[in-house]
Structure 1
Amino acid sequence: MVVKVPLDGLNIVKARGRWYVYPRGGGEPLVKGFEGSRKDLLKKLAEPELLQTYNRPRLLKRLASEFPIETLGGFVNWYTNSDIDRPLKECLPAPGKIAAGYPKWPKLSAATRQDYLEAFEYLRPEFDAILKDITQPELYDVRDKCANKKWPRFADQMIAALSSMFRQAVKRGKMPFNPCLGMDKAHAADPNSNREWFAPEWQFVRDNAPMEVLIPCMVARYAGLAGQTIVGITDKQFLDHPLTGKAVQYTRRKNGKTTFLPVLPELQAFLAARDIRRADGLIAIRDDGSPWESEKDMQTRVSHWLRDRERDGLIGAGTTLHGLRVSYAAWWKRMGASDDEVARLIGDKSPRMGTHYTRHVEDEVSIVRAFGRLKDKP
């Protein structure tokens, strides 16, 4: 039997003594196999969790700007300068422009903004959630469902985006604390990811990579620059230097640290021999001379080429553009640089980063030292 319900767009069906509630437009049932009276069923439908499920299709059609600032959707709108409701191509890499919003949003890298917008878009069905009522156990539920529906790394990216935004919500009195703090990762990081490259791998890439792949690889290997710096570096930032002939001056977007770095001869010779040069001096460009749309665009091209060569059996697993930054740091460590010096060479502020990038070199030194003791044994 089909009966009318107080919620529009639903059909209630009773079969074999049990109740079933379906959206009229199709889809998964809101209630399946419920036992009890019709009054009990209506009470069940009034529960907040079911009401949220019922309202979800409507939420997906609402702009974030239509939600109050005290809700998740409203604060996402403020935090992203309304970019959440714009097509991606209209807000990246150019920042959104509104009268009020988070002033640091346009200063985030294009790749970071894109990652955050993708995470917030996934959360659009939850935009009616009241900020101050969001708890860590609820976030774990959302994160775990996201990890199963999409993938674990994206789920962690979503929590990172929320944590960054929630810090601002706490400062502005919208939340009592940041519920993302202390959450563990859904994605188990590979300890061998971004490893130092082996010499034959690097030689193969130098000899065979297309120029649009080789340029960022050379800059990472012989200057230790990160991808977000490489994609925007220009010839104008390479200045004369008495020690090596040239030095590059850059400011890392990640930490705001300005570095003046003498350039190794290998990179100087490579840049001097380039066939294609742009009037604006941009160094990392495509083979047709056009600029990359974003850091992520460049990283993806490099990664796809490397993974294709891995499948061909020409290089090993785990080779990444960031791994060449590790290779640069490791080279300096073997040359006798301290952890503090390594950190400064790669544009980081903390000596701990020098330790992090070269910990495997310390392992090598310890092993060689241990084998050295064999010489003293009979």
Structure 2
Amino acid sequence: MIDTPLIAGIHDKAAKKIGWRRANMVRTLLSEVFRYNIPKGLVSANFAKDVIPKRRPRDRAYANRPWTIEERDAVLGKAKPHVRVALALMMNTGLDPSDALRLRKDQVDDGTIWGVRGKTGEEVAIPVSPTLQAALDRMPNHKAETVLSNSRGEAWTYNGFSTVWHRFKTALEKEGLIEKGLTLKGLRHTVATTLREAGLDERRIADLLGQKTPSMARHYSRSANLADKNRETMATLEEENRRRAESVKPSQKSVKPDRNEDQP
């Protein structure tokens, strides 16, 4: 006989065998199967509906955790020029690493980054903040069509930048300047978290990060309107980052920029 206690037992066994996340996926799948078959008269109820989803273990580290302000300063202070500007771009826009590395020079116009999020196809219009503009102004000259380039003046590949980042991050961990768990995607989480803690609502944050439902009818003018609203959002991010940086004790901001122009 199929009933809720039976489904709960299956859910518990799945959690022990394949983990809490996949067990919850099994619960969701069964719930959809029951929901689909109720109108057909094949089952009398959704027996998975009242099964409580498994919670994430408290001791499990979150993937792509937000960076602390001290970690941000340490990374930017030690990074080589071509790496530093790439991190600054991700840090001050919330762009996904792959989108940031692919960003073309012709996508930056009139103080705004115009692009499409590769994962969703969603248009983004991100104003260039003063902090980001200062970082871009220090970008070594290169002939690549992308905004960013490696030390040879060529466009970064995702694997190439990831390799450089991993080597660089590992060295900083050994020096005790950052904690383990820093990821490039974590910079998107950092932007979202900073803005949320500053009081902005989730809709405005989603607009900045390109998390709307894709729409083929969206036109350039609509993105322009979005850019106007996002300027206020970016101003909040800029001010909150400045406030947090000023709140850090001087002894915690002792890392000086590495003047070596070579890549890590």
TM-score greater than 0.5 by the shorter chain: yes
Does 1:286 pair with 2:150?
yes
Partner of 2:190: 327
Given the alignment of the two structures, is residue 268 of structure 1 paired with residue 100 of structure 2, yes or no? no
Matched to 1:348, the amino acid is Q
Unaligned stretches of 5+ residues in structure 1? 1-143, 145-155, 157-187, 241-245, 351-378
Aligned residues of 1:193 and 1:318 also touching (Cα < 8 A): yes
SS in 2 for 1:223: coil
Q: Identity over aligned residues, as a percent?
A: 25
Report the counterpart of residue 235 of structure 1 in structure 2.
105
- RCO higher in 1 or 2 (8 Å CA, sep ≥ 6)? 2
Q: 2:149, 2:200 → 1: CA distance?
A: 32
Q: Say whether the 8 Å CA contact 2:81–2:140 is kept in structure 1.
A: no
> Does structure 2 conserve the Cα–Cα contact (< 8 Å) formed by 1:249 and 1:261?
yes
**2:120 aligned residue (239, 242, 255):** 255
Deviations 1:265-312 (A, max 9, x none): 11011102222232x4312211221222x3232123212211221022
Give the Å deviation of 1:348: 1.4
Which segments of 5 or more consecutive residues in structure 2 lack a partner in the other structure? 1-16, 23-56, 214-264
Question: For residues 134 and 159 of structure 2, what CA distance do their matches in structure 1 show?
Answer: 27
Identify the residue that residue 225 of structure 2 maps to in structure 1.
Answer: none
| 1:338 matches 2:215 | no
Which of 162, 173, 185 is the equivalent residue of 1:299?
A: 162
User: 1-side partners of 2:88 and 2:183: how far apart?
Assistant: 12
On the 8 A contact 1:250/1:259 being kept in 2, the answer is: yes
Q: TM-score of the superposition, structure 2-length normalised?
A: 0.55
Correspondence for 2:48: none
Shift of 1:191: 3.3
Q: Which has the larger strand fraction?
A: 1
Please tell me the residue identity of whatever aligns with 1:214: R
- Paired residues for 1:341-352 under 5 Å: 341-349=204-212
TM-score (norm 1): 0.39
Residue 225 of structure 1: how far off its partner (Å): 0.5
Of 317, 342, 347 in structure 1, the residue corresponding to residue 180 of structure 2 is 317
Partner secondary structure for residue 85 of structure 2? helix
For 1:327, the aligned partner's letter is T
Code of the aligned partner of 1:199:
I
Cα deviation, 1:175-210, whole Å, max 9, x if unaligned, reads xxxxxxxxxxxxx99533211111111111111101
What is the alpha-carbon root mean square deviation over aligned residues? 2.6
Is the Cα contact below 8 Å between 1:220 and 1:328 reproduced in 2? no
Cα distance between partner residues in 2 of 1:212 and 1:330? 26
Runs of 4+ in 1 over 4 A off after TM superposition: none
CA contact (8 A) 1:303 1:321 kept: no
Distance 1:190 1:345, change over 3 A: farther
CA distance in 2, matches of 1:331, 1:267: 16
